[in-house]
Amino acid sequence: MSKSESDNVPVKDLFKGSGFPDKTAMVLSTWFGIGLLPLAPGTFGSLAAIPLILLTEGLALPGRILILALLTGTALWSADRCRKLLSDNDPSMVIIDEMAGFYLAMLLLPMSWLNLAAAFAAFRFFDILKPFPIKQVEAIGGGIGIVFDDLLAGLYAYLATWLTLSFLN
């Protein structure tokens, strides 16, 4: 059995032995299993936001803000519940927080492949390096720490992308 298979066995067992709310939290927090991929779950979680970004780009800003609020609320609930189920303060398989963070990074940017790529790179940069105060927000713990550090990384990514693109134009 490979390391990734052995890592997922407890999750499979936990899933089988869980009730509907816990199963729902695991499915949503891993974004339908994408977070169970063995390498770079945060990067795949960020990529998983792209279809949602593309599907909602035609909505007016209040509609996209509502989508972000729903995604954030779902992330807070499912990440916290999954954290408790796994007895892990920040399980790497929880990727809905990356989705919310990257969605925020793109919220006010005009949709283009250049903006999408630039915001993605900036988001991954800030999410991985966690400059002040992102690391401190992560340390809050619980669903709030799991989700809000990514939202802050998304805000940083938006600002960095917007400033870079404004400077280039």
The pTM is what? 0.90
Q: What's the pLDDT at 2?
A: 38
Neighbour-count burial of 61, counting CB atoms closer than 10 A to its CB (0-12 exposed, 13-18 middle, 19+ buried): exposed
**Coil, helix or strand at residue 163:** helix
DSSP 34: G
Count of residues in the chain: 169
C-alpha angle 51-21-89 in degrees, rounded to nearest 5: 75
The owner of tokens 């400059």 is: 131
Give the model confidence (pLDDT) of 23-81 as tens digits.
Answer: 999 999 999 999 999 899 999 999 999 999 999 999 999 999 999 999 999 999 999 99
